Amino acid sequence: MQRRLVLATFAAAALAACGENKPQFNAIDLTGADYAKDFSLPDTDGKVRSLSDFRGKVPVVFFGYTQCPDVCPTTLAEIAQAKQILGADGAKVQGIFITVDPERDTPQVLKAYMANFGPDFIALRGTPEQIATLAKDFKVYYKKVEGKRPGTYTMDHSAASFVYDTQGRLRLYTRYGSGPQALAGDLKQLLAQA
């Protein structure tokens, strides 16, 4: 009986030790997910970018559009704030904005918009077909919604960010409004694993 108790105690301790190594993220852990593996789109200078360009950094990818009244600027500001919270390690975080409105979001518009969040944030823009294909791969929803006046519209879209580790592997899905502290905590853990 005592031997069984000792074995059970060792087994419980071994299981607890295994669980201690797994990071506890604030965001949804997508480690091992079989989608959102990469992108290949031009930045505002026309240079085609992909995840491999950011090896050694933790990319945070967000789909949106520059005329978004709330979700997009709030999310990008939270990424910028999380970078500040991390101090010097914030330089190892790469904010990446992918427009779902290439019709209005020209390279010039995107460049000016991204300057609001930090000099190292980048924006990517593709053709409508490229964006549709990429959104499908990322399981991102977006739809053009006609406005009240002719020729005006808004874009409905998913409101979450995809976070990758320093090796370019998808790790986290961060919901809108999680806050910069929660994001910074997750980014810190990913940087510590590098």
Give tens-digit pLDDT for 116-134. Answer: 999 999 999 999 999 999 9
Q: Does residue 17 sit within a domain? A: no
| Top mean-pLDDT range of 13-17, 67-71, 79-83, 175-179 | 79-83
Task: Give pLDDT, residue 185.
Answer: 97
Task: Quote the number of domains for the chain.
Answer: 1
Domain holding 126, by residue range, is: 24-192
Q: Does residue 72 sit within a domain? A: yes
Q: Does residue 16 sit within a domain? A: no
Task: Give pLDDT, residue 14.
Answer: 47
Q: Does residue 31 sit within a domain? A: yes
Query: What is the C-alpha to C-alpha distance for residues 16 and 103, in angstroms, rounded to an integer?
Result: 53
Give tens-digit pLDDT for 72-95. Answer: 999 999 999 999 999 999 999 999
Task: Give pLDDT, residue 20.
Answer: 54
CATH code, 176: 3.40.30.10
**pTM of the predicted protein model:** 0.87
Task: Give pLDDT, residue 9.
Answer: 42
Q: Does residue 58 sit within a domain? A: yes
Residue 18 is labelled as binding a ligand: no
User: CB–CB of 126/41 below 8 Å?
Assistant: yes
Q: Does residue 5 sit within a domain? A: no
29 forms beta bridges with 172
Residue 91 is labelled as binding a ligand: no
Residue 34 is labelled as binding a ligand: no
* Separation in Å, CA 108 to CA 133, 142, 147: 24, 22, 24
